[in-house]
Structure 1
Amino acid sequence: MTVPIGTTAGAALDLMVERRFDQLPVLNTRGTVIGTFTNRSFARQVVHLRTQDDPRAALVDDLVEDLHFARPTDNLEDVFRWLESDNAVLVGDEDRVLAVVTMADVTSFLWDRTHPFVLLQDIELATRHLMRSACSANELAECLRAVLSIEGTTPASGGLEHLTLGELHAVLLHKASFGRYFGATFGRSRDLVQSTLEPVRDIRNKVVHFRGPISADEIGTLVRAATWLRRRMLIREEA
């Protein structure tokens, strides 16, 4: 979205409000960018207008600032520095603006990429916490031996931290151990625990091995599992 020279500040501001933008590149008659009209550039320049002048009638040509152009060959550290100082960069060049990237865009992008890792960490830490709080250290060691010795794996001396997520779930869902210990913190329904946590393992493998983007449904699965575990922790604390 751009505006040509001769556009009034009022028209540009109305468009920015409508589209929820903070800036608009301004083009001359040849389609070349002469600068960017922004909320900041408007605020900086409007104070210099005469008191009898209508600030909305001012032309964007006189109210622009220069944002940096980001090109594919630019160092990413430089781009982040420009974003930090100006809150936005233009992608492309003066003759062909491809996009405007803002700090909000970067924050959204990074959150989308890191959110699955944050949820997986929450799930794994909460699962370990609830398992530890269900029994003593010696009883937990017995639960580890009961499962891992059957699977041909020697229980790690470090305890739960050294287990894979699959091994952690196997210990938790071991029928005898769940009935004797873990049902006290995870609830009585072993089937519910299994249906809540088992899908997490496949999603985790997809995330950590970078096997493609995570779908909204998969994020929803992780959110539900993390929320359910937090609720179980609250119930445990109140008991």
Structure 2
Amino acid sequence: MELLDKEHCIYLLDEDNFDFPTLEMMNDDLVAVGGDFHPQRLINAYSNGIFPWFIDEYNHIHWYSPQKRMVLEPQNMKISKSLKKSIKNKGFVIKSNENFEEVIKNCANIKRKHEDETWISDEFIQAYTNLFHLGYAFSIECYLEDELVGGLYGIMIGNVFCGESMFAKESNASKVAFYHLCNQARKNDIKLIDCQVHNDHLESLGASEISREEYFKILEGK
């Protein structure tokens, strides 16, 4: 790795190995640029508390490890009255890992507030679909009358589920998928759901911020 920005500790990744900056080498949220989407590089990234966020105009991948990490312990999810009604009465059918590629494509195409365009490019879709076929990426899907109307996907690293994105075409569909993710997490001894960065939607579901150092300790099983 080459140190590109000494003040902010941003590194240029080598093409011929899959190493990432350690915690001690990090300063800002952006910790590295470059590299590729080789499956082993992605797995190494998540194992080291790092994830790719977008590709810039020079085709460089930007890798992040937020100083404040948004996380949720599965047992702490908040369930509103409207969500309870949707879970019980709306007729949603939940499945897992049956339509991964359509989930990530919907996450890429759904219109979001305060976002002009998606960061989930074709390269991201291919990379995470590859991880799905290798058994590292997983999806939760929400169907209504046999139509995919909501869902989420992410990466499993040890006992941490690293959530990547979610979408909804029906009110509360993504929240229902998230509810079932938390249920599955509890049943399978998953300690934490990594939500990456703060947003109001995740906070309303019970997620909160911890320090980067604390997140690394959890990843390391401490």
Larger strand proportion of the pair: 2
- Greater CA radius of gyration, 1 or 2? 1
TM-score range, shorter chain: under 0.3
Q: Normalising by structure 1, what TM-score?
A: 0.23
- TM-score normalised by length of structure 2: 0.25
